[in-house]
Amino acid sequence: MRMRSSPGGRRPGSAVVEFAIVLPLMVLLFLLAVDYGRMFYYSQIVANCARNGALYACDPYAAVRQKYADVDAAARADAPSPMNTDLTVTTTYATDTYGDKVTVKVAYTFTSLTKFPGVPTNVNLSFAVQTRVAPAAPQ
């Protein structure tokens, strides 16, 4: 009697064994991709917060017309609630030969979900926006 072999000459369980060997690597790559996407998302939030704070700070009439109390509140307005309290907002005013300028810097410490060796668990995200302050009255 001849023994029948599976189509293609393979043994039936080899695909399952190969999948079991490759699965941990695939899961690791998936988790790293999710963390990278989250870090990119949070970096965009930090950049938008800095821009919103700079827009508020460069308009001399913003305090009258806006609903924000100060530059700090304007910068934090673009962040979601859980992230809002962890932001660090720094505002610096300066004057040069061309007039007044303001710099708003927003910083946030991102914590990743993955805790693998070689992958940083905390990443400092920061973004600074510098703009000129509009004159209070036309000159």
Q: What is the pTM of this model?
A: 0.80
Distance CA 47, CA 44 (A): 5
The DSSP 8-state label assigned to residue 70 in this structure reads S
Q: What is the pLDDT of residues 119-139, one digit of tens each?
A: 788 999 999 999 999 887 765
Distance CA 126, CA 64 (A): 29
Q: What is the pLDDT of residues 4-37, one digit of tens each?
A: 555 666 666 888 888 899 999 999 899 889 999 9
Facing residues of 96 across strands? 99
Distance CA 101, CA 124 (A): 26
Helix, strand, coil shares of the chain as percentages rounded to 5? Answer: 45, 25, 30
Q: What is the pLDDT of residues 31-59, one digit of tens each?
A: 889 999 999 999 999 999 999 999 999 98
In 3D space, the residue among 94, 89, 97, 84 whose CA is nearest the CA of residue 130 turns out to be 94
Would you list the domain boundaries of the chain?
Answer: 16-132
**12 in helix, strand or coil?**
coil
